Structure 1
Amino acid sequence: MKHYRHFSDATITLIGNSCQIKDNISGLSEKEKRSIKFYRNMVGLGRFKKVNQPPKREAGDIKGFSRKSRLRLLKKTNRVDHENKSKPYFVTLTYPERYPVDREEYKSDLDTFLKRLKRAAGDVEYLWRLEAQKRGAPHYHLLLYIERDINLSLFKKWVSQNWFEVVQRNWDIKDGKHLRAGTNCKRINDFRQASYYVSKYMAKTDDEKLKNQGRYWGASRGWEDFIAEDKLEGKELIIFRRIIRNYLKRKSPAMARKVARGGSIEIWAPKSFIIRAYLYSKIAAEENSPFGRG
């Protein structure tokens, strides 16, 4: 059942390597609207479940890093225009044998470290993820974009020294081992590698040691890179959806089925491919018009 055939137009928004397709159903009849709404409810919620509005989030109701949280994290990762940024860095921050158990304390450590980083490096965009080690100690993974050209060796030393100082700023006796082994820092070569690191290290959902920690991940302001927005109408929209669906068949069959089914959706693909698909759908729809290309 491919409802996208019925839609008159949709807004296409390109944000980094993420494409949002938002259907406009204002031009449909009431019968068509009810049919599409009923179909979505049956597919998304199950045939016998009551359809309700999702509850509003309140403070303290984040119990863990769920599959939905993971999906939002992956969406955030793909909303970056990696082609127009400097190469990112993947940083891991760990604690020594003695570590805080109060979430306010270790989240304050991260906040202090990021403030130091912004003062030292200037414009920094970051994505962070909180996890627990096997011993139960919290640790952080960071994906960083730094505009200024920096020396990797010097940056590693800076990260080690400053995380050491932040973590042990109130200690009377310092743990020198932590200075040498408390951090890890790598330069990432491309978007594919960045996605790999996020999927492997930042998007795991099997963490049972840290519960009720508030936010388990976050990003800096300005992380998302808006590129363009436009409308596709009628045959343009159908052609665009078919191209995207065919591209996703092997890479993400579930997402390909959602594209074919119709309705608003966000898909992930290289920015260059999305732009080519958009331009082709415009040209192909015009060439197939009974009135020609004018």
Structure 2
Amino acid sequence: MDAAAAMLADNVSPLAWQGWEGPRPRLIFGPGMVQLTLKDATRWERRLVREQEARPKGAAALAAWLVEGQRDGEDETDFELRLGRVKGDIPLTEREITEWSRKSRANMIKVLASLDWSPLFADFALPAMTTLTYPGDWVTVAPDGKAAKKHLETFFKRFERAWGTEWVGVWKFEFQRRGAPHFHLLSVPPAGLSGDAAYEARMAAYRRGELARKPRRRTVENQGLGYKEWLSSTWADIVAHPDPAEYANHLMAGTNVNHQEGAKASDPKRLSVYFAKHGSFKAKEYQHIVPEEWREPGKGPGRFWGYRGVEKLTRDVELAPADFRFVARTLRRLKARVKVWDPKARKHRWMKATRVIEVNRYGQGQRPAYSGYSDVIGLAGAQYMEPVKVTRRRVRRPVTRFARGSGFAVENNAPELVETLTRALLACRGPEVRQVHRTEMVRQTVRRRRLARADEIPLSRTPDEWDRTRMARQRALQDLAAVTGVDPAERSGGPDGT
């Protein structure tokens, strides 16, 4: 990634951003993601300043509204509701998450493709997909989203105590057809036995000098079990259903470890697309719809995804407007088609990039009617306003990426794509373009020098100051004419000698 960023930065046009206000074309890329942005840093900073100035006023107004007594015309129910919001027992907003939004899906794909997965795949480790489900009577143990997230956090803490290392990977929150929540976790299953692996990890740290005292063996929950057995027992203990029959069934079928699914995450693009495939193709869209039991205010699921133990790894390069347009057009054409495997021909072939969307379908000869008139007169008007039966159908439509220049796309090897874009950018520059760039480089150098001396130059002058400056110049020209004998009008080409 450093080599790709340096290659593009060394060959960037001198027309790139040099310190003035306005949009700044940037190319940001990670291990499996390429993004083009036109962010205006100045406007963004001004917006933050306005928000900071308005926050104390909003907080003071909200506090005054919350702590004031019962108002005129306010009944006891509304007054108790407002006091509950003051104490924090009732959330301030009545809105709740009911489904996984498109913005969150796109953000998850971009972030997962921008992470450094070296800690997860170190030492040629084989990842696996771990599934954590809930028993049949799941409402008793998970009445809201906070309880389910607390179970997941407890699982991470017990994992660190049992195996001596932090859980590293990515997790996804989904729902089954019966409404029960479940978690998908992509990580590397630890080797050895629970408890013993943690002791060996602490001993290794002691031998390296990272610990001052020699560690002692500690007894943990479900001591001396392999990962699959420890996973089943630990997750059943965390959920802890009060019914013995439900607890026994959950102990036997509450978890699953699948190495075949984990092997699909062979690069950042496949990893990010795997977790979002249901949202992209809507094959299992029901898994992202929140059940009715969690749709009340304060019971929502919260975030649908997250990661632990890994960090973002991105590089960004400033681009000139012309180079930005060239890269955007190239990526738009490149991402208009995808390479798929044809099992019959046993080779790859290119096809248009499509996505599944839902559209309205009407009966033969029926179309929705829209009228701006409130009153309909006559039989024709009654037929015109008759409701039309509408059905929803899933269809595939072409996808256009980077339609307005900015956007992002996932790639199996993003640094290699950036190097290819750099070579294409250099190959499309003719000799006349290079000459223009050299001339513009001189202009930008002069501009940088003027910006460096900006404090010495007055930013604005009044009309009187401009008049005094013009009169002083005329006097200087007249003095020069008196000494040299040259007329100021002939010297400057103007009647007033300015």
Q: Does TM, scored on the shorter chain, surpass 0.5? A: yes
1:198 to 275, 278, 284: 275
1:209 to 287, 291, 295: 291
Question: Which has the higher mean CA deviation after the structures are superposed, 86-95 or 270-279?
Answer: 270-279
Structure 1 residue 248 displacement after superposition = 0.4
Matching residue's letter, 1:236: D
* Separation of aligned partners in 2, 1:281 and 1:59: 53
Match of 1:267 in 2: 409
Matching residue's letter, 1:237: F
* Separation of aligned partners in 1, 2:164 and 2:185: 15
Match of 2:133 in 1: 94
Structure 1 residue 193 displacement after superposition = 5.0
2:229 to 149, 152, 157: 157
Distance 1:227 1:101, change over 3 A: closer
Distance 1:178 1:130, change over 3 A: same
Distance 1:118 1:21, change over 3 A: farther
* Separation of aligned partners in 1, 2:95 and 2:160: 29
Structure 1 residue 215 displacement after superposition = 1.1
1:141 to 184, 205, 212: 184
Match of 1:3 in 2: none
The answer as to 2:399 corresponding to 1:280 is no
Match of 1:246 in 2: 333
Structure 1 residue 89 displacement after superposition = 2.8
Flag structure 2 segments of 5+ consecutive residues without an equivalent. 1-14, 18-23, 42-91, 194-224, 339-352, 356-397, 439-498
TM-score (norm. length: structure 2): 0.43
Matching residue's letter, 2:332: R
Match of 2:155 in 1: 113
Contact 1:96–1:182 (8 Å) recurs in 2: yes
Secondary structure of 1:179's partner? Answer: helix
Matching residue's letter, 2:143: D
The answer as to 2:252 corresponding to 1:180 is yes
Question: Which has the higher mean CA deviation after the structures are superposed, 190-199 or 224-233?
Answer: 190-199
Distance 1:114 1:236, change over 3 A: same
Contact 1:94–1:140 (8 Å) recurs in 2: yes
Distance 1:179 1:149, change over 3 A: closer
Secondary structure of 1:198's partner? Answer: helix
Match of 1:49 in 2: none
1:231 to 282, 299, 318: 318
CA offsets 1:66-101 (integer angstroms, 9 cap, x no match): 333333333333223457741543211011233224
Match of 1:40 in 2: none
The answer as to 2:105 corresponding to 1:70 is yes
Contact 2:35–2:407 (8 Å) recurs in 1: yes
* Separation of aligned partners in 2, 1:290 and 1:136: 62
Contact 1:141–1:201 (8 Å) recurs in 2: no
Secondary structure of 1:226's partner? Answer: coil
Distance 1:82 1:138, change over 3 A: same
Question: Which has the higher mean CA deviation after the structures are superposed, 88-97 or 284-293?
Answer: 284-293
Distance 1:243 1:150, change over 3 A: farther
CA offsets 1:255-292 (integer angstroms, 9 cap, x no match): 97342432x32221222443323432553366653339
* Separation of aligned partners in 2, 1:22 and 1:156: 45
Matching residue's letter, 2:319: L
Structure 1 residue 18 displacement after superposition = 1.7
Secondary structure of 1:230's partner? Answer: strand
* Separation of aligned partners in 2, 1:202 and 1:127: 17
Structure 1 residue 135 displacement after superposition = 2.5
Secondary structure of 1:16's partner? Answer: coil
* Separation of aligned partners in 1, 2:131 and 2:278: 10
Count of residue correspondences: 255
Match of 1:126 in 2: 169
Matching residue's letter, 1:10: P
Structure 1 residue 22 displacement after superposition = 1.3
CA offsets 1:201-243 (integer angstroms, 9 cap, x no match): 6875432525432314131356452232211224432332233
* Separation of aligned partners in 2, 1:199 and 1:90: 15
* Separation of aligned partners in 1, 2:407 and 2:303: 25
Higher relative contact order (CA 8 A, sep 6+): 1
CA offsets 1:135-169 (integer angstroms, 9 cap, x no match): 2222112233x5x964799433332222122112x
* Separation of aligned partners in 1, 2:16 and 2:93: 36
Distance 1:228 1:93, change over 3 A: same
Q: Give the root-mean-square deviation of aligned CA atoms.
A: 3.9
* Separation of aligned partners in 1, 2:279 and 2:310: 17
Contact 1:67–1:205 (8 Å) recurs in 2: no
* Separation of aligned partners in 2, 1:59 and 1:281: 53
Matching residue's letter, 2:97: I
Matching residue's letter, 2:36: I
Contact 1:129–1:202 (8 Å) recurs in 2: no
* Separation of aligned partners in 1, 2:26 and 2:251: 51
TM-score (norm. length: structure 1): 0.69
Match of 1:29 in 2: none
* Separation of aligned partners in 1, 2:156 and 2:278: 20
User: How high is the sequence identity, in percent, across the aligned residues?
Assistant: 24
Match of 2:239 in 1: 167
Distance 1:269 1:177, change over 3 A: same
Name the larger-Rg structure. 2
Flag structure 1 segments of 5+ consecutive residues without an equivalent. 1-5, 27-56
* Separation of aligned partners in 2, 1:109 and 1:143: 17
Contact 1:109–1:166 (8 Å) recurs in 2: yes
Distance 1:137 1:124, change over 3 A: same
